[in-house]
Amino acid sequence: MKSLYKYFIAILFIAIGFNGFSQGVGLGNIIIDPYYGYPNFGKNFAQAVQNENASGVDFKVGGIGPAGLRIEYMVADRIGIGADAIYNSNVVSFSLQDTVAGELKSYEYKMQRLRVQLRINYHFNITSPAFDSYIGVGAGTNNRFRTTTENGVEIEGNGLEDFTLLPFSIRLCAGARYYFSDNFGVNTEIGIGGPLISLGLSVKI
């Protein structure tokens, strides 16, 4: 946790520590940020279960993300609006001995989550045109899709496979970008309601 605090402080330092006369983005710019985030809480939880139950047969844990794509359009020198699509998945597979049929059966549980949020960012005025820093807020959908298979065949459940407790999602964040050319750079963001930490590329048009 101490490392996360240091990371958050570093981003805030970039975001609000420089007051000046120029900035990395401005009115009319379009910014595209593909990124990959950490952690995948569902995958980490399944791995913890695996560590506590090492005697399971062929117990495997996998997953993707959180990964996503942010697109932002600068409607003013300091204000940008856009969208953020966030995807992650968790997969758990294992085998169990069927005591009735006397055969080994394989099972796989998969959960996919997709959030699409509308975003608004406030960009700080900083001294270097290579840097861009901002704070943002977003809100949008929150969808989960679950499947269970037995020996490779999907099992029908109780109709709650796609149930989501909250059908909406909200994100609060602070981020920064560094451009090593006029159009290409790297981005990082920290926040809640999505990836806790993300890193990626940044394309400015």
- Mean pLDDT, the chain, whole residue set: 82
Of the ranges 44-58, 75-89, 137-151, which one carries the lowest mean pLDDT score? 44-58
| Interatomic CA distance for residues 54 and 40, integer angstroms | 21
Give me the pLDDT at residue 21, please. Answer: 40
Of the ranges 13-17, 54-58, 63-67, 187-191, which one carries the lowest mean pLDDT score? 13-17
Q: Which of 97, 87, 90 is nearest to 66 (CA)?
A: 87
Give me the pLDDT at residue 156, please. Answer: 73
Q: Which of 80, 64, 60 is nearest to 72 (CA)?
A: 80
Q: Which of 5, 42, 23 is nearest to 128 (CA)?
A: 23
DSSP E strand stretches across the chain: 30-38, 57-74, 79-98, 103-123, 131-141, 143-150, 153-154, 168-179, 184-192, 197-204
Mean pLDDT of 28-50: 80
Give me the pLDDT at residue 178, please. Answer: 93
Mean pLDDT of 23-50: 80
Q: Which of 61, 77, 67, 62 is nearest to 29 (CA)?
A: 77
Amino acid in the structure at residue 163? F
Mean pLDDT of 188-196: 94
Which residues form the domain of 70?
2-204
Mean pLDDT of 174-190: 94
Total structural domains in the chain? 1
CATH number for the domain spanning 164: value is 2.40.160.20
Digit-coded pLDDT (tens) for 78-132: 999 999 999 999 888 878 777 666 678 888 888 899 999 999 999 998 878 899 9
Give me the pLDDT at residue 63, please. Answer: 84
Classify residue 147 by burial, with Cβ atoms within 10 Å: 0-12, 13-18, 19+: middle
Give me the pLDDT at residue 124, please. Answer: 93
The pTM is what? 0.79
